[in-house]
């Protein structure tokens, strides 16, 4: 079983590509980076569990119910005093980019001290821990909890995947040391979801993402700095406009790299959660014993498919991956 540790959120989206508060109406979805991965893996047939904390309120109970409905084990989600974390989204349109507003300070999860989590019990029966850089960005309590989780997982011989997910607005809201905290976490991971910008932050050295050779240079520097790392998985995204992006995927190992061709993703319904969908596709492949090339192509397939689905969750199965890779777009009957 893979255990995902992070905050459950409610996403309030302005409908019809409106600006926030243009009409005062919102569509509500449940999300959160680690929760999205848990749902994506459950949809792909893996046993996944969530560790988080929510308030004992209709909002908290509803968020947990949404994960449970998708097959995620929520027995490790605690209830605590505090509030439900929220974020607001104004979807992009044409040449206007999407924009988010966070409203998660003082949430039940963000204020939980590291001592609130009993990792002996929480990690029982698990083989992998999945974390992201969003959790430690929430504040000192969450940062210490993420480090404690990774240390406990390492001590028990679990593998650890870590998604950089750098969120400047969250780190800048407190007296933080993102490089110091993230370096400690990546040092314990065997799989990093991140690109040359993440490596630049971690190592304090600038790397370019222009061309495969430069991306390989960043990966080799990360492998040299972090001996436990075995794989680095990343995507490259070129945004033509809000409705058309071009995506490719890449996986670096210590002995080489594989990179997919670029695919055009048009008619985008919702891009939020695309990176988490990629992570679930890559993890699905690697946990199924597939090679790096297959992991890159499956990750890209799930990420591209996620752009067709409203909400944060990826709800696709292996049959959907196979259909995407076969190139057939006609109705399946």
Q: Please answer whether residues 8 and 32 qualify as being in contact, where contact means their C-beta atoms are separated by less than 8 angstroms.
A: yes
Is residue 331 pLDDT above 60, yes or no?
A: no
Q: Can you read off the two tokens belonging to residue 25?
A: 């109406």
- Mention every residue, 6+ apart, whose C-beta is less than 8 A from residue 185: 131, 133, 136, 146, 147, 150, 162
pLDDT at 107: 96
CA-atom Rg of the chain in angstroms: 19
276 annotated active-site: yes
Active site residue: 276, 291, 320, 322, which one? Answer: 276
User: Residue 50: is it exposed, middle or buried by C-beta count within 10 angstroms (0-12/13-18/19+)?
Assistant: buried
What pLDDT digit, counting tens, does each position of 144-162 carry?
Answer: 999 999 999 999 999 999 9
pLDDT of 173 higher than 70: yes
CA 247 from centroid of its chain's CA atoms? 17
Tokens read off for 172: 């800048």
Quick check: helix, strand or coil at residue 258? Answer: strand
**Is the pLDDT score of 328 beyond 70?**
no
Rounded-to-5 percentages of helix, strand, coil across the chain: 40, 25, 40
Task: Please give the DSSP secondary-structure letter assigned to residue 262.
Answer: P
Q: What are 189-247's pLDDT values in tens digits?
A: 999 999 999 999 999 999 987 778 889 999 999 999 999 999 999 999 999 999 999 99
- Over residues 274-278, the mean pLDDT reads 98
């Amino acid at each position: 079983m893979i255990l995902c540790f992070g905050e459950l959120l409610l996403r309030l989206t302005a409908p019809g590509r409106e600006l926030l508060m243009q009409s005062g109406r919102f569509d509500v979805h449940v999300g959160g980076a680690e929760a999205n991965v848990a749902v994506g893996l459950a949809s792909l047939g893996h046993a996944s569990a969530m560790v988080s904390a929510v308030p004992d309120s209709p909002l908290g109970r509803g968020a947990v119910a949404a994960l449970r409905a998708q097959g995620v084990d929520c027995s490790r989600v605690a209830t605590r005093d505090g509030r439900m974390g929220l974020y607001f989204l104004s979807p992009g349109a044409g040449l206007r980019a999407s924009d988010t507003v966070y409203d998660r300070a003082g949430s039940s999860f963000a204020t939980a001290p590291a001592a609130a989590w009993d990792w002996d019990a929480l990690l029982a029966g698990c083989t992998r821990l999945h974390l992201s850089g969003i959790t430690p960005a929430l504040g000192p309590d969450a940062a210490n909890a993420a480090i404690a989780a990774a240390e406990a997982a390492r001590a028990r011989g679990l593998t650890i995947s870590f998604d950089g997910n750098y969120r400047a607005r969250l780190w800048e809201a407190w007296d933080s040391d993102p490089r110091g905290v993230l370096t400690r976490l990546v040092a314990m991971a065997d799989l990093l979801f991140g690109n040359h910008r993440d490596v630049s932050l971690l190592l304090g050295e600038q790397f370019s993402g222009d061309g495969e050779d430069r991306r390989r240079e960043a990966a080799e520097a990360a492998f040299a700095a972090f001996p436990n790392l075995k794989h680095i998985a990343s995507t490259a995204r070129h945004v033509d406009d809000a409705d058309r992006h071009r995506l490719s995927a890449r996986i670096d190992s210590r002995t080489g790299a594989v990179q997919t061709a670029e695919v055009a993703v048009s008619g985008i319904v919702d891009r939020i959660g695309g990176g988490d969908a990629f992570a679930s596709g890559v993890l699905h492949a690697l946990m199924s014993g597939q090679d790096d090339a297959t992991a890159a192509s499956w990750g890209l397939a799930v990420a591209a498919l996620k752009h067709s689905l409203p909400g944060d969750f990826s709800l696709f199965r292996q049959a959907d991956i196979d259909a995407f890779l076969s190139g057939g777009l006609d109705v399946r009957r």
